[in-house]
Structures are given as C-alpha cells and as structure tokens.
Structure 1
Amino acid sequence: MYSNLEELTSHEVFYYFAEISKIPRGSGNEKAISDYLVRFAEERNLEVVQDSALNVIIKKDATTGYENVPTVIIQGHMDMVCEKNQDTIHDFEKDPLQLRIEGDMLYATDTTLGADNGIAVAYALALLDAEDIPHPTLEVVITTEEETTMNGALAVDAAHFKGEILINIDSEEDGKLLVSSAGGVHVTQVLPIKWENTTEHEVAHSIRIKGLKGGHSGISINKERGNSNKILGRVLHELSTEFQYSIQQINGGLKPNAIPREAEATVFIQQEDVEQIKKKIDKYNDILKNELQFSDPKVSIVFEKTDISSSNVFAKETKHKAITSLLLIPHGVQGMSMAIEGLVESSTNLGVVTTTDTSITFESEIRSSVKSVKSYMVTQVRTIAEMLECEVLIDSDYPEWPYNPDSKAKKLFEETYKEKYGKEMEVIAVHAGIECGVFIEKIPGLDAISIGPDIFLVHTPDEHISIPSTINNWEYFIYTLKRMKDLL
C-alpha cells in the first residue's frame, strides 16, 4: 500500500489530512484551523462564511448536469480531542501532530490522531479542490467545539443553507450507514473546599491509577472498561475504613466525553501506617486485575512518596463529600435499547475530576436516545449534588437524532453500496453525540445520514485510522455524489 508519509500524502485526502495535522485544533483552540479553511476557500474563489463561533461554511456550485439536483450539505467538525499520557511531551496548543504509518494504519506518535473528525475536513477539502468529481451544489459546513459542547453546531445560522440532504462524515465504521444517534448533556458538580492544616507527623504520598484503556464515552461505554476516577474513589474509601489520612487534591481524566484512563490523589498519612497502606494497595491491585482482566489487563495502582510544600488538606467534611461523590456519581451503561439490539440507550461518564484552590469539580457526560431518560439522569446527578450541598452546572445540551425510516438519502446510499460492493450495507444507530440532530432541529425536513472510514481507539493516544478503509470510503462517497441525479 503506502510505505511512507510522502507516498501516502500523494493521495488527495491524506494530503489534506497531513496539512491540518500541522495545525493545533483542540476544542476551544480552533481559530488557526478555522482561518486556514477560510484561506483555502478564498484561494479557490469559493463563497465562504466564518461566523462568530468560528464555524466555516464553504459553498461550491453544481457541476454540469447537476444544477437541478437537490443541494447537499457536507458536514464535519474541525476540533479534536487532545489526549496523551502524562509522561508524553507534547503541547497541543502549538505542536503539530507527528504522523506515522504502521502496516496499513495511520497513527500520531503518543497522542490522539484527530481522525475524529479531521477525516471529514480532509474529505471536504479534497472534494472542494477537485475539478473532476461530478456533484450537486455543495454547502460544506465545518463546526467547532463538537467534542466538548457542540456549541459550534448550536450556533450555526440555518439561514445560510438551502440543502435538503445532509451527509455527515463523523462515523467511524466503514461499510456501515449511521442513521440515528443519542442526545447528550454536560453536567458539572462543584464541591466547595474547606481547608485545614495537616499535622507534622503526616507524610505526603500519591495514589495514582494508570494503565486503563479509556476510550470514547459513547462508543466504548459498553466495553466495561475501568474508569480511573471511580476506581480512585473506591481505593480512597477502602483506606478510610482502616486508616486516618488527609487528602490534598484529587485529579483525574482530561475530557468529559473520554472514559478517564488516569487519576491521582495526593494524601498525607501517618509514617507508621505507610507499610500497611502499601500492603492494602497491593491487595487492591490484585482485586482490580481480577475484575478488569479482560477489559483493562494493564490496570495498576502506584503508591509512592511525593514532595509537597503546602500543608493544606481537605477538612474532614470535604474529604467525606469528595469520596462520597466519587462513589455515588453514576458511571457506565444505564439502559439498553429495546428497539435496536445491542444499542446502548442511555449512559453516563464521570470523565473529569479537578481540584482548584476553592473547589473540586466532577464533570459527567450524560447520553440518551430518549429525551425524557436523559432528563431523569440529570435529575439523579442533581439530587446527589444537593444531598452533598454542591452546586450543579448544566450546559451543552444537544438533541438526539431520531431514526427516519423514509429517508431517501438512506435508500440511495444503501443502493450505491450494493452496486459498488455487491453486498448489503449495514444500517446502524450509535450511542454518541452526532451533530445531525442539531441540524435536523434547525432545518425542518432535512434528510441526514452519516458515513466514515474505520477509526480505532478514538479519544486515546492509540487512536489510528485504516488507510485502505479511508480510501475505500472516499471512493464510495464520491460515487454516491455522482448518483445524486437519481433523487430527481
């Protein structure tokens, strides 16, 4: 296939993927990539709009013979999840991704790859740049902050669009046609900290959870992978039943929509308890390796002395509420769909725990394909917070994408797949937030589907994309655009 990056980037899609991989584009840091997209359009004399949320809309006229075909909206998002291991040196604010090929897969070195959703941007740019691909009038919209709040899509002005069909390129399984997704909401519990001073006989140690696989909190939530924040809560609770100790800080996870892989607490313990606590943690290591032997066989708890200059620790009341929060805030699958076999209907992910000078925050991503169930799960978290006298913040509430059995786009994509490959395409729904739901709510009657190549271990430093699948999916995509005449 391709033995090096120079050969790979001779393909139009991977050329643009490599170009955008040079531009830092974590959620909330999209100005540079947004400006790049605007320059791209202006250099090709294409109509372009950059709105206040930094979303970019690029329009291209239909090719000859396609002037009367319904306008098509091509959609993806420009931001990526920025994940790395703690010992990896990489500044996501300024450093380019370091791409590498292993076999027929493309990786970034020790960081997330950003194929979610850089591949949509690459497809769109390759299509807009091409002069030999037949297509209807195109309205390409690349949004911001999809991975955190969906505020980009929520801010889009529907008046910019005349499109009747939406092709979202944010799916992650080649040969599968995505036709429905879950809605979601970001919920943050804020626990005020009361501080006190530790005693001079207590020694600072760190308790660190590591070695977990993590993953996308929607796609991977049914894989029963360990959550480092929840595990840390269990460990801290177990220690509190036998030992007197203090906590100075608890931190875990990086993104609400990524299952947390690492978490750490700084604790102060009596010197005479150190060996007994070490033995207790060794036993708990064995417990976790047994519980997670199939999902996270490399899980470990690291207990070691650490140098801390501050003697401030949580007051006993704060310590109790922090541990209780870690234990009680829900995580994992909350319900399975009775309509689609194997589909998670509802879930929640305790993704991020952060200690500041004034508070401990617990961030959860709640998802459901049923609006009323999503609301009920928010009520559960709110009730736990109220019981512990915590504040609750709710944002980034985005709608579900309901299944449309009468979709003409669905029918066309199924037909072209069978023509091209001689087999039926699998139609699926996904337990993740897809922007289709937002656009359908904004543009009544919009007919939407989602496609994409095979992407693996998204939202983790091991994220990678199949090179053959990317090319195959691209060819299927442009073949179906050519067949859009059939919708007349």
Structure 2
Amino acid sequence: MSQLSQLQPNKLWQIFEKICSIPHPSKHEQRISAWIQSWAKELGLSVKEDAVGNLFIKKDATPGMEDRRGVILQAHMDMVPQKNASTEHDFLTDPIQPYVDGDWVTATDTTLGADNGIGLASAMAVLASDNIEHGPLEVLVTIDEEAGMTGAFGLEAGWLDGDILINTDSEQEGEVYMGCAGGIDGSATFKLETMTVPKNYLSFNLALSGLKGGHSGVDIHTGRANANKLITRLLLEATNKFGIQLTELNGGSLRNAIPREANASFVVEESKVEALKALIVEHLSTIKTSLSSVEPDIEMTLISPETFDTCWQLESQLQVLRALNACTNGVIRMSDDIEGIVETSSNLGVLRTKGTTFNALVLIRSLHDDGRDDAQTMVQSTFELAGAKIEFSGAYPGWKPDTSSAIMQVVRDTYQSIFNKLPEIMVIHAGLECGLFKTAYPNWDMVSIGPTIKFPHSPDEKVEIATVEQYWQLLTAVLGNIPTK
C-alpha cells in the first residue's frame, strides 16, 4: 500500500494520489479532464463540459434533503508546474511523486499540486460517498485557474442551479474566507539594440539560485527574495563599474510565483574580470547577510560558456536594467480595514530574452480596484520612461465581502460546534475565482475553505495531514447543515 492510501479520510487521499499521477499543469488539463469525466460516468453521475473546458457534475439530494438550497462545490483542475533547475521533471508527461514527510504530504523536488488538488479530491470524494447527507449537489471544476482564470472568465449563466458556492481553494485551516484580491497582468517589451562583441572581451554566465520562491499572493509579505530583482541589482552595478554587456537575461517561470532562480549571460573586458569576480563575491556576501533569516541557501555560480558574437549595446542595456531595478515589487500597501492583510502588491515574475526582444511580466494584486489601478500606473510609468511598450491584460475583480452571508454563518456555526472555537473570518490576498463567478451568477452566496497548505507555487509546497481531516469534517458537516430553500 502507498503512504497516502493509509491516510484519513481514505477516499479523499486515494483520489488525490490518482490526481498526482495524471499530468495537469495549467493549459494542459485534457488528461485530467478526461479522467474526471470517465470517473463520474462510472458512478452514474451527470457530467457536462462547456465550451472553455469547465466540468459540471450533478448529484441528487440524499433522501429527506431535497428541500435544501442547492450547493455547488468548486475546485480547479490545473496545478502550478514548478521545479528547481537541477530537477529533471517534465510536467507534461511525468507524474507528481507525493510522499509523507512527518505531519505533512509533499512532493519530490516539484510542486505538489495540493493547490487545488486536495479541494478537487474532496469534492469528488463527496460525490463518491453514499453516507454523507446533502441537498441538491453540483460540482464545478474549472480550468486554467493558475495561469489566467480562463475557466472562471468563460463561465456562462444557465449551467448551474444551486445558489450557494463553496470554494475549496483556501490554504489555512481555521480560516474562512469571504473575500479575495483582484489582479491584472502587465507585459513590458523592449526592442534591444545589439552590437558585435569587442575584441579582448570574455564571455560568462551568472546563475542565481537557492531562493525559496512561493505564491506571489499569500507569500508576498514574508520577505522572500525575488531572484529577478536580486540579479538586476548586481548587473546594474557591474554595468556601471565595469561596463559588462549582456547577451541574455532570464528569470522566473510564472507571473504568479515569486522567482526562485535567474541567470544572465554577458561579456566583459578581460582586464576587468578579476575585479568583477570580486564584486560578485562581495554582492553575494551582502545579500546572504541581509537575507540570512529568510533566504539561507542563496547561491551564485559564474562559469565561462561558449564565446558570444553579439551583445546588447550599453544604452539599450541600461534602459532595461534601470526599469527592472525601479519596478515596484512586493507589498505596496497593507489593508487599513483588515489587520495583517496585504491590500496591494506587485510581483516581477518573469524575465525573458528572445533574440533582440526582452520581455518582463508583472502581476499586480489588490483588494480594491483603485489600488490595482494605482499600482498599474506606477508599473506602466516605470517601463514607459525606459522606452518599453507595456500592455495590461486579464484584469479580474476582487471578491467583495458580504457580511450578511448565510453560508458564512453556517460555516462559522458548524466550525464552532465541531472544534469548540470560532474560525477566523478572513480576506485573502490571492486571486480566488469567486469574484469572477459573480459576473454570470450575481446572486450566489459564496465562501472559501481548505486545509493548511504551505508554500504553494514552489517545490516546497506541502499540505498538513491533520488539517485535511479537519477540513473534511467541516465540509461534510456543512453540507448537512445547509438551510432549506
């Protein structure tokens, strides 16, 4: 027997283990979708797929519960594909390798996909059960939540009958979420001027690694370093002091993950190499000291690769580096209304060089549309002053808290009756799909719950075993306490 199959609740963990075995990164959910549909049909359940790929599964009320309000359990089927550069793993073909590590379940050198695989597994476990009391029940499984919320954007009215939605994508047991941040993506593009590498110049590649990374929403306040910002700072200083000229600059992999790694290729005059190496050693020592409590494993590696024929012109290079250095990153403002909650943030998530084009991706989040717009203008001004073209896309609204929510009251009272304490009612600085659902279903009463998941969107992702059982107890009890129509 596998380690996960011995955990409780047994059915949930069995389904989650199966989910891990099927590759399902964002934009590539076809295999997991096909399996879910086949699984539902084997149980005799009604399952439909809409034009964008969302799935809808329906189950009749248990006897005596037909008069209850209809409930929709909601999860997304995609996961964030993150691994360390030294890890050999193809997210399109290789299964995730989950294992028990003390009180947690984690994965071997990759993201685990507990975000939102545990939520998906819990919804499917409810569908598979014959001893959980519930009223009319629907399960909504969306696509592409992590890379664009395509499923939530594409949700159309008329597919679902229930009027209470329980989102399963929260990541802290004991916290019940009634609101979330909205966001927008920014893409800045520079046209690079290049030149032939001067004589007596040597070629190098600098790699920055060992950072923790994490979710650009829920981890943004932790002080974790951004690899893109760290390497930019060094490159700008090296440019000003020694005239290094870049041939390539890349960093990060997803706009919604704090970058863990970055690398740059460049050339430098042979007479300045030793002084440059000394600067790199000094810089590494400085950031190791200043970030020692939060980033103890930072590494920089300098190697001499093949010789480069062309490099960036200094003026063009300085435009890029100055813009990246000035670009706002991290927490911009804390909430005035909710203690300890980030209101507005920005993540310089991805840097990419392609020929004579350089691209930077930024994800802005805010609890308020005005905060999002303000941060957007700051980022836009930074890049336009440097001569870049910047475009914004994928704007999605926050989920405004409803203090009169009936399902919130049910969840709060049920939690107190089970655990003899009140849960914390929270707003999360992350992009749950709930805000977008209001477009097609403005009258839905919504709440979000989940187990404790640490460091999602990074290879350190892990889910606490005991909290999965607590979450399951709460979820199933809430279904039995849904009020009548």
What's 1:224 paired with? 223
Structure 2: runs of 5+ lacking an equivalent: none
Deviation track 1:146-175 (CA, whole Å, cap 9, x = no partner) reads 111111111011210121111000000111
1: distance between equivalents of 2:8 and 2:422?
A: 31
- Residue number in structure 1 paired with 2:166: 167
Contact 1:245–1:267 (CA under 8 A) maintained in structure 2: yes
Matched, 1:482 2:477: no
Q: Contact 1:336–1:345 at 8 Å: present in 2 too?
A: yes
Identity rate of aligned residues, in percent?
35
Contact 2:69 2:164 in 1 (8 A): yes
Give the drift of 1:390. Answer: 1.6
Paired residues of 1:149 and 1:186 also in contact (CA < 8 A): no
**Structure 2: distance between partners of 1:367 and 1:124:** 28
Once the two structures are TM-superposed, the CA of residue 32 in structure 1 deviates from its matched residue by 1.0
**Aligned positions of 1:56-455 closer than 5 A:** 56-308=55-307, 310-455=308-453
Contact 1:252 1:260 in 2 (8 A): yes
Residue type matched to 1:294 in 2? S
Question: Could you tell me whether the CA contact under 8 Å between 1:249 and 1:355 is conserved in 2?
Answer: yes
Shift of 1:99: 1.4
Shift of 1:318: 2.2
TM-score (norm 2): 0.97
Q: Is the 8 A contact 1:9 1:15 kept in 2?
A: no
Runs in 1 of length 4+ with deviation above 6 angstroms?
A: none
Mapped contact 1:74–1:139 kept (Cα < 8 A): yes
Change (3 A) 1:204 1:9: farther
Superposed displacement of residue 41, structure 1? 1.8
Q: How does 1:34-49 map to 2 (within 5 A)?
A: 34-49=33-48
Contact 2:5 2:13 in 1 (8 A): no
Stretch moving more, 192-201 or 88-97:
192-201
Q: CA deviation at 1:301?
A: 2.5
Counterpart code for 1:387: L
Q: Cα offset for 1:38? A: 1.4
Distance 1:142-1:360 versus aligned 2 partners, 3 A rule? same
**Residues in 1 aligned to 2:407 and 2:433: alpha-carbon distance in whole angstroms:** 17
**Equivalent residue letter for 2:295:** D
Q: Which amino acid aligns with 1:474?
A: W
Q: Distance in 2 between matches of 1:6 and 1:36?
A: 19
The CA distance in 1 between the partners of 2:243 and 2:365, in whole Å, is 38
> SS at the partner of 1:269?
strand
Deviation at 1:195, TM superposition (A): 2.1
Unaligned 5+ segments in structure 1 are none
CA RMSD of aligned residues (A): 1.5
Are the equivalent residues in 2 in contact too, given 1:177–1:425 (CA < 8 A)? yes
- Give me the whole-angstrom Cα distance separating, in 2, the residues matched to 1:307 and 1:109: 33
Q: Which moved more, 1:238-247 or 1:249-258?
A: 238-247
Q: 1:6 offset after TM fit, Å?
A: 4.2
2:75–2:120 Cα contact (<8 Å) kept: yes
Shift of 1:112: 0.2
Which whole-Å CA distance do the structure 2 matches of 1:45 and 1:197 have between them?
Answer: 67
The residue number in structure 2 matching 1:54 is 53
Q: Which secondary structure state, in structure 2, belongs to the residue aligned with residue 209 of structure 1? A: strand
Asked if the contact 1:9/1:18 (under 8 Å) is kept, the reply is no
Shift of 1:132: 1.3
Residues 105 and 55 (structure 1 numbering): CA distance in 2 closer, same or farther, change over 3 Å? same
SS state at 2:260 partner: coil
Q: Distance in 1 between matches of 2:460 and 2:209?
A: 15
Report if aligned partners of 1:149, 1:395 keep a CA contact under 8 Å in 2.
Answer: no
